[in-house]
Amino acid sequence: MCHYEIINFIRCGHQDKRLTRYCHFARNDPNHQCFSPWQIEREWDHPKIECDKCSDQKLKLRSLANGEDWK
Ligand SMILES: [Zn+2]
Ligand SMILES: [Zn+2]
């Protein structure tokens, strides 16, 4: 089974699941698909930053405010 870590983003209250290690099956699969249950290796809090989605959105908003064009 594949291993994941859970990150709790304290600042925005979101949670992210990240793959830390593929299992044997997923590694051999061209699409890295895994059909066995995954396991959470660890869970930790991130107090300083926001999740990718939130920081991405903020970046976009900021560029819009600056008149930049997002394609
Ligand atoms: Zn797996
Ligand atoms: Zn977030």
Q: Write down the pLDDT at residue 16.
A: 94
Q: CB neighbours (10 Å) of residue 71?
A: 2
Q: Express each pLDDT in 35-71 by its tens digit.
A: 888 899 999 999 999 999 999 999 999 988 888 766 6
- CA 47 – ligand 2 centroid, Å: 12
Q: The tokens of 45 are what?
A: 């809090």
- CA 37 – ligand 2 centroid, Å: 26
The reply to whether the predicted model has a pTM over 0.85 is no
Q: Write down the pLDDT at residue 66.
A: 87
CA dihedral of 3, 8, 13, 19, whole degrees rounded to 10: -30
In a domain, 48, yes or no: yes
In a domain, 70, yes or no: no
Q: Write down the pLDDT at residue 70.
A: 61
DSSP string across 2-70:
-EEEEEEETTT--EEEEEEE--HHHHHSTT----SPPEEEEEEEE-S---HHHHHHHHHHHHHHTTPPP
Q: Write down the pLDDT at residue 2.
A: 94
In a domain, 37, yes or no: yes
- 21 alpha carbon, closest ligand: 1
- CA 3 – ligand 1 centroid, Å: 7
**Number of domains making up the chain:** 1
Q: Express each pLDDT in 3-39 by its tens digit.
A: 999 999 999 999 999 999 999 999 999 999 998 888 9
